Structure 1
Amino acid sequence: MSQISEASFSEELEKQGIDGKLVLGYPSGLFVLFFTEMWERFSFYGMRVLLINFLTSAILVGSPFSGWGWDPVKATSLFGTYAMLLYITPIFGGMLADKFLGYRYAVVIGAAIMTIGHLFMAFDTPLFLYLGLGALVIGTGFFKPNMTSILSEMYKKFPQKKDGAYTIFYMGVNAGAFFGMLLCGYLAEKVGWHWGFGLAGIFMFLGTLQFWFAKPIFGKVGDPPTAEQAEEKAAVMKAENPDDKPNPFTKLDTFLIVIMTILGLAYAFNDPLSKIANIDILSGLQIGTMAGQNVAIISALVLFLFVVISRLARYTKVVRQRLIAVIIFAFFVIFFWMSFEQGASSLVIFARDSVDRSLSGNSLTIFNIVNTLLTVVPLILITYVVAKLTKQTFGKAPLTNIVQFVCFAGLWGIAIWMLYREFTAESSEIPVSWFSIMNSFFIITFANFVSKIWDTKFNPPAAVKYGMGLIIMAIGFGLLAFGAHGLQAGIKVSMVWLILAYLFHTLGELCLSPVGLSYVSKLVPARMIGFMFGMWYLAIAIGNKLAAILGGQIENITKEYSLSTFFLIFTIVPIVAGLIVMSLHPMLKKLMHGVK
């Protein structure tokens, strides 16, 4: 498709009622979405990086640093269910937005519910923690799928510009994650847990306001759908896919989906209930020595496979085989996230208990210089973008710019206070959460480099990228296994091993993660896209739950064998999975029928 000039692009946007003023060559609305996503990710990752650390930290009566003293098995059972549900509720949130709410109202509703969830968690009592996590799960269901839907709708007449827009948008994701983990983590570990959880809630609230006040910039984009729009969308889908015949869900399909959903949710809630409160709501399903919750989840998976296979049988050969390729990719993505998401559980515990984080003298000075550059340089760049956005949109949406100014004034203030506090200290201990920012930093650093490699003649097929992603990530765990080899009680490893591990985990993610959703959209017929995206997110949800279950065993495996053995599990399993998926390339190539 031919390129479009900036002037023509601006005119076309105005015709749709979208603000036509461009910022760095992109619509101002894109940067509103960028900052909305940035503040949401700031809050989400700021809370996420604290949760396992808080739950498993020692009880210190009357101290702002007192945790709940849970063992990792209990903590990760709760976190795993939370992470699992985060990838399931967006399926329903997307459907509600598509049919009733519209994308913009769904985002506002989700952001408001998430704000309440974050503020609940600032009280860090059992009741408010559970209410907070529940609100975050529900809010994410409305927020997560609909931000990208607004972006897609805004660019639907400019597909040639969509790739660049998504790149900008996902930089906002990583910028938010970076600053959220850096600042919420620092406040929580240096001042008190309340402050870390509370800061996440404050920025979620401000992010919600700046998006709400930006409505004049978007025009009618994201408004509730009309009957005419629904008919037009159906007509376009039919015209684009003339050979794609309807395959409606049968009554049996619907019944089985309801049953498997109930069983899956029962498992998700029963796991933490049984481990934390000794309440087993699925004990009646126990068969022999197999726990009732395991019977429930296995039954749900069997029913799921039956529904998928029975539906596949009703499609034409080409469509059926392409869907099988998607299912194979989804299966292997489980192994990736099962290992990668150790960053939210076992690696937090490892960083706290087994990594030497104490600094003084020259080593502290060097760290402070590096930390200052890591903090200030991105802040300067993003503040420059805010200034450009304000210049272009203040007349149309002044309130959103005022809120944005408050956000960045607060961000700069906290960052400067943190850096000053560390520079004036004679000795310091690096916060556990600081290591988690490495993933976002390495993504921002290497994403463009990896994407340029794929644009050259060295652009391997999907199966090879999957295998590379799994194997490169596994190398990171191999380095941790090597660094922890022969570790004696009371001895801690160098932080270099953990930083290197995050580097390889990120490079693996850059190889695999962007490929998945791309191939779902390419291989799946339009009428099946919602179901298959749902299945893809289900695979990620399963991977997240498995990650938490296995991560919770870090202390048990370390006591029985060694810490090195624990990390070897996440070295060997992904390497084997990577080699298998690479060996499947010839078969997958046939199943994909020319899709590249």
Structure 2
Amino acid sequence: MATTASNDFFKSNVLGHPAGLFVLFFTEMWERFSFYGMRVLLVNFLTFSIIGDNPGWGWPTENATALYGTYAMLLYITPIFGGILADRYIGYRWAVVIGSIIMTLGHASMAIETPLFLYIGLALLVIGTGFFKPNMTSILSEMYKDRPEKKDGAYTIFYMGVNAGAFFGMMLCGYLAEFVGWSYGFGLAGVFMLLGTLQFWFAKPLFGKIGEVPNKAERLAAEEAAKVSKNEEEKRNPFTLVDKILIVVTTVVGLMYAFNDPLSKIGDINIFPFEVNGVAGQNVVVLGALILFLILVISRIVRYTKVIRDRMIAVVIFAFFTVFFWMSFEQGASSLVLFARDNVDRSLEGDSLTIFNIVNTILTVVPLIIITYVLILLAKQTWKKISASNVVLAVCFLGVWALVIWMLYQYFTADESEITVSWFSILNSFFIIAFASSVSKVWDSKYNPSAAVKYGLGLIIMAIGFGLLAFGSHGVVEGVKVSMVWLVLAYLFHTLGELCLSPVGLSYVSKLVPARMIAFMFGMWYLAIAIGNKLAAILGGEIENITKEYSLSTFFLIFTIVPTAAGIVVMLLNPLLKKLMHGVR
């Protein structure tokens, strides 16, 4: 039945792919629009001065980044549970719809701008993401399971939707928030989340049986087959009682730490009110939990045969270095936002403003024309079958075009202007769209390096971006602002580093890990990213303290030296990792 549905699905054609792919493209685009639109505002809003034409809440930086860090950390943990629920009970499509509705309510709550509704909104966004995030890619994977040769191209198109949404979300939500009011920025994110949900729901006839509630009998049959399989990679490795206890303990302690960090700073409520040799209780406890989790991982790994065991050890090593990458890269959501706001000269007039307006117009309008063209192609193919979905998409794009034209008009008619803080954040998405295909071609050529070298290059290239910021801000005293060129160059190198490292990780987990262990190891991988995000927020919150005690340049040097050292180490481990991977490339 699934195969028949998949074949029917491929009868429609847009740019060489089934029309349903582009429904997913636009659904993911609007979700990323709302997510990144809110993300770029949160720390800026919380720390913005409480006086002025557009007041924020005036929080200390450490408090704002503690809250954001916990939010970002949980975003990579809840998808583990959302994926399990969809796999076993509700199906991928319903999971996406449920997640979308919950996230829409979350954005609406944040637009109210009170502490209670802020916390409710963030909680809803975390829960909604848990349902949404893993199941969009699951639908995509199910669509192409009988056409594996088309899958790489499909994921590339889907990834463009992710970055297009991030690009326009940060640009438009950021502009509205900074020049009209914060509620408008948060609210706009919710509006497009709702519209994205509607266009996905109305496109239901296009998907047939794909993503429906799973067939219980088929799932149980597959599990029974795995139990008796003679293939070492398919055999079950059942969780023992000790395994289950360790999972529960580490999960509970990890969540307690995640909530305690902002609670202790914002609400003066400390779940771990003790110290050990000057180390805060919450840090002692979470380190203990990480040690227990490592014991759990090791105890599971040693139960496999040598080849499988070695490959899983390689995954653990890659996961370790993943923490260093995201710890640095995710400064883009905290310290780099504050740096752009407080330390970068964003004022333009005369020729410099004219040049910016031309560049900004090209950056904005050209991608929007291309995506609108894709929308027209989709409508031509599917109008009779999913006309309501196409109408919703048309409304979305009319809204985006209206906002873009209004924003560009404001820039062009001003004698002098100040670039929004959020504008710099769009550069990451732009550079991904610009360079992703070129980097991919290099990896497909004879110059394709090993995984360890890609990891090392990713870390070192990203570190160069921070090195440029350290150089550009060297000797800068309070009140003096640096050229925006340094921040633009930093985002360029950060993106090139991301393109080297980010696509590699999940790919190697799927290649190296046996089928019966893959869910657990994906969970471990997302935990590594979650830890990196939390560390990024903690360290990003220290930008003001380190600047006062030492200098702004010193702060950026931390993110230059640490990733560079990690990159060199992982490249030195290349021979060992190749041996552990046993021929997997």
Alpha carbons of structure 1 residues 236 and 360: separation in structure 2 relative to 1, 3 Å: farther
Partner of 1:287: 276
- Local SS of the residue matching 2:408: helix
Following TM superposition, by how much is the alpha carbon of 1:238 offset from its aligned partner in structure 2, in angstroms? 7.6
Q: Does 1:109 align with 2:98?
A: yes
- Tell me which of 126, 139, 158 is aligned to 1:169: 158
Q: Which moved more, 1:237-246 or 1:574-583?
A: 237-246
Shift of residue 18, structure 1, vs aligned partner: 2.7
* Pair 1:337-2:319 in alignment: no
Partner residue of 1:23? 14
Shift of 1:294: 1.2
Distance 1:232 1:395 in 2: 39
1:43 aligns with 2:34: yes
| 8 A Cα contact 2:460 2:497, kept in partner | yes
Task: Give the superposition deviation at 1:235.
Answer: 7.0
> Secondary structure at the residue paired with 2:368?
helix
Query: How far has the Cα of 1:20 moved from its partner?
Result: 2.0
Q: Is the 8 A contact 1:241 1:525 kept in 2?
A: no
Deviations 1:499-539 (A, max 9, x none): 00000000000000000000000000000000000000000
Which of 76, 88, 107 in structure 2 is aligned with 1:99? 88
What is the CA deviation profile of residues 529-587 of structure 1, one whole-angstrom value per residue up to 9, with x for unaligned ones?
00000000000000000000000000000000000000000000000000000000000
Shift of 1:237: 6.2
Q: Which amino acid aligns with 2:266?
A: I
Within-5 A mapping of 1:124-139: 124-139=113-128
* SS of the residue 1:401 aligns to: helix
Q: Does 1:322 align with 2:311?
A: yes
Output the CA distance in 2 between the equivalents of 1:520 and 1:529: 8
Deviation at 1:257, TM superposition (A): 0.8
Contact 1:473 1:507 (8 Å CA) reproduced? yes
Aligned position for 2:447: 458
Aligned to 2:292: 303
Asked whether the 8 Å contact 2:75–2:129 carries over to 1, the reply is: yes
- Report SS of the residue matched to 1:26: coil
Which residue matches 1:580? Answer: 569
2:208 is aligned, of 202, 219, 225, to: 219
Distance (Å, rounded) in 2 between the aligned partners of 1:400 and 1:160: 29
1:255 aligns with 2:242: no
Contact 1:483 1:493 in 2 (8 A): yes
**2:383 equivalent to 1:394:** yes
Give the counterpart of 2:433 among 444, 459, 475: 444
TM-score (norm 1): 0.96
Which one of 273, 291, 295 corresponds to residue 263 of structure 2?
273
Q: How does 1:407-418 map to 2 (within 5 A)?
A: 407-418=396-407
SS, match of residue 550 in structure 1: helix
Q: Distance in 2 between matches of 1:115 and 1:439?
A: 25
Q: For the Cα contact (< 8 Å) 2:5–2:208, is it kept in 1?
A: no
Please list the CA deviations of residues 236-284 of structure 1 after superposition, one character each: whole Å capped at 9, or x if unmatched.
868998122321100111011101111000000000000111110122x
In 2, Cα distance between the equivalents of 1:401 and 1:521?
Answer: 35
Contact 2:5 2:209 in 1 (8 A): no
The corresponding residue for 2:145 is 156
User: What is aligned with 2:67?
Assistant: 78
For structure 1, the 5+ residue unaligned runs are 1-10
Letter in 1 for 2:252: I
Deviations 1:170-224 (A, max 9, x none): 0000000000000000000111101100100000000000001110000010001
Q: Counterpart of 1:535?
A: 524
Q: Where do 5+ consecutive residues of structure 2 fail to align?
A: none
Determine whether 1:501 maps to 2:467: no
- Name the aligned partner's letter for residue 262 of structure 1: V
Please give the secondary structure, in 1, of the residue aligned with 2:9: coil
TM-superposed deviation, 1:288: 4.7
Paired position in structure 1 for 2:48: 57
Which one of 342, 355, 368 corresponds to residue 366 of structure 1?
Answer: 355
Alignment partner, residue 174 of structure 2: 185
Tell me the secondary structure at the aligned position of residue 417 of structure 2. strand
The RMSD of aligned alpha carbons is: 1.5
The 3 A distance-change label for structure 1 pair 70 and 23 is same
Cα distance, 1:310 vs structure 2? 1.1
Aligned mates of 1:31, 1:13 — CA distance in 2: 20
In structure 1, the residue matched to 2:337 is 348
Give the conservation status (yes or no) of the 8 Å contact 2:33–2:168: yes
CA distance in 2, matches of 1:254, 1:338: 29
Which secondary structure does the structure 2 equivalent of 1:425 belong to? coil
CA shift in 2, pair 1:330/1:240, >3 Å: farther
For 1:367 and 1:256, locate their aligned partners in 2 and report how far apart those are by CA, in whole Å. 55
Q: Which residue of 2 aligns with 1:6?
A: none
Q: Which residue of 1 aligns with 2:424?
A: 435
| Partners of 1:19 and 1:219 within 8 A in 2 | no
Q: Determine the C-alpha separation between the residues in 1 that align with 2:391 and 2:245.
A: 51
Residues 148-187 of structure 1, C-alpha deviations (whole Å, 9 max, x = no match): 0000000010011100000000000000000000000000
Q: Is the 8 A contact 1:253 1:307 kept in 2?
A: yes
The total of aligned residue pairs comes to: 583
Letter in 1 for 2:152: D
Q: Tell me by how many angstroms 1:306 deviates.
A: 1.0
Residues 103 and 125 in structure 2, CA contact (< 8 A), matched pair in contact too: yes
Asked whether the equivalents of residues 184 and 199 of structure 1 are also in contact (C-alpha less than 8 Å), the reply is yes
Contact 1:19–1:218 at 8 Å: present in 2 too? no
How far did 1:289 drift? 2.9
Match of 1:3 in 2: none
Task: Give SS of 2:348's match.
Answer: strand
Letter in 1 for 2:42: L
Identity %: 72
Amino acid at match of 2:48: S
Tell me if structure 1 keeps the 8 A contact 2:6–2:146. Answer: no
Match of 1:33 among 24, 35, 53: 24
In 2, Cα distance between the equivalents of 1:288 and 1:324? Answer: 33
- Which residue does 1:525 correspond to in 2? 514
